[in-house]
Structure 1
Amino acid sequence: MSDKAGDSARATEAPGKRALMEAAVRLAANSRCITSLGLRELAREAGLNPNTFYRHFRSMEDLGLQLLRQSNHQLRGPLRALRRQAAQQSIASRDLDPEQEEKLRGRRVSQQTIRLYFDYVLEHRDRVVIAVRELHGPSELLRAELRQQMNEFAEDMAADIQTLGLAPANISTQRIQTIATLLSRNLFYLSLDYIAEPERRDAILELAHEQILMLFTGAYLLQEMADREAH
């Protein structure tokens, strides 16, 4: 854990701060941006004196920033840990050649990390809805934070794909980073469908997994074509 993440985690242990953050989530979850909340409204929802707010936050924008960073911390580490765990599990079968085993390994990691991501989405649906809204909201600070977080998820994904050998060897580092960036943004937007359409959740999981396979298959074929043209 970085110092910044550790400080944030310790700070949210303060009951008053935690109450204010939870109240902000409840108030903003339906149709509002964090920065549109009123101080007295928020304090009333949290059951606190309005003066308590400034013991913990400089502004509503600061509260929103800390909410986004807290959510990011809760998901980012577990996703990487699950990728490593899934990648390390062996597939013992005499019927599989090394290439088939690598494909199945990559698919297992993809399916498990997608499942963890969408489990998080359901468990923290209000925060996810707020994050999607803030990505197009009035605060440039919060928009920039969310863009940075999506870039960090993509960097994590790309690094894990390469370190764990989850992509065909001929796909370049640049293409893996591009794929990870596309996937990071697409999963973020699929979150809304996953929350709003419970009857389609299995189909959304399958769609997300299929998109991963299509992107890597396309990158593999593009690289093969480039290699043939080079020779």
Structure 2
Amino acid sequence: MMGVRAQQKEKTRRSLVEAAFSQLSAERSFASLSLREVAREAGIAPTSFYRHFRDVDELGLTMVDESGLMLRQLMRQARQRIAKGGSVIRTSVSTFMEFIGNNPNAFRLLLRERSGTSAAFRAAVAREIQHFYRGTCRLFRNRKPYAARLYRSAG
């Protein structure tokens, strides 16, 4: 059980992540986010940001991890629907569209942030994209010969 202080710290950390996600848009990338703007939207002083994250890159890594987790959870649900007899292609496409529709800024983060920012950030984005690719290939495994080749190529 977390103490009151730990709960408040986690709540503030969560607010910072949500504030950063909410500032992403079609016109605004993660690299253009301002620590001051994120802190303001989260309702804290800019200097308090550093109690929760070492720097903006660490905030970004947290956002990438959360985006990947959301996507993996949806892929797990897709595998369950397919196991119950759902169409592989229809389920795959609807799962991906569901992710985009429900998490547009997480999608933007994973799609756009493959260049710029830090090497660790770019590597985290690449890792999440690779997880998604492999997960999608697993959905098709043993369905058709070309799908089996696709799965094997995913490593």
1:111 to 1:44, Cα distance in 2 relative to 1, 3 A: same
Q: Is 1:50 the counterpart of 2:25 in the alignment? A: no
Report SS of the residue matched to 2:117.
coil
Report SS of the residue matched to 1:14.
helix
Greater CA radius of gyration, 1 or 2?
A: 1
Partners of 2:88 and 2:139 within 8 A in 1: no
Cα offset, 1:129, TM superposition? 1.8
Cα offset, 1:63, TM superposition? 0.5
Cα offset, 1:33, TM superposition? 3.4
Unaligned runs of 5+ in 1: 1-10, 90-104, 182-231
Over the matched positions of the two proteins, sequence identity in percent amounts to 28
Unaligned runs of 5+ in 2: 1-6
What is residue 70 of structure 2 aligned with on the other side?
A: 74
Cα offset, 1:38, TM superposition? 2.7
Report SS of the residue matched to 2:94.
helix
TM-score by length of 2: 0.78
Greater relative contact order structure (CA < 8 Å, 6+ sep): 2
Partners of 1:29 and 1:127 within 8 A in 2: no
Cα offset, 1:173, TM superposition? 5.0
Report SS of the residue matched to 2:116.
coil
The code of the aligned residue for 2:36 comes to: R
What is residue 167 of structure 1 aligned with on the other side?
A: 144
How many residues align structurally? 148
CA distance in 2, matches of 1:86, 1:175: 18
Partners of 2:88 and 2:140 within 8 A in 1: no
Q: Is 1:148 the counterpart of 2:127 in the alignment? A: yes
What is residue 64 of structure 1 aligned with on the other side?
A: 60
Q: Which of 14, 24, 29 in structure 2 is aligned with 1:28?
A: 24
RMSD of aligned Cα (Å):
2.7
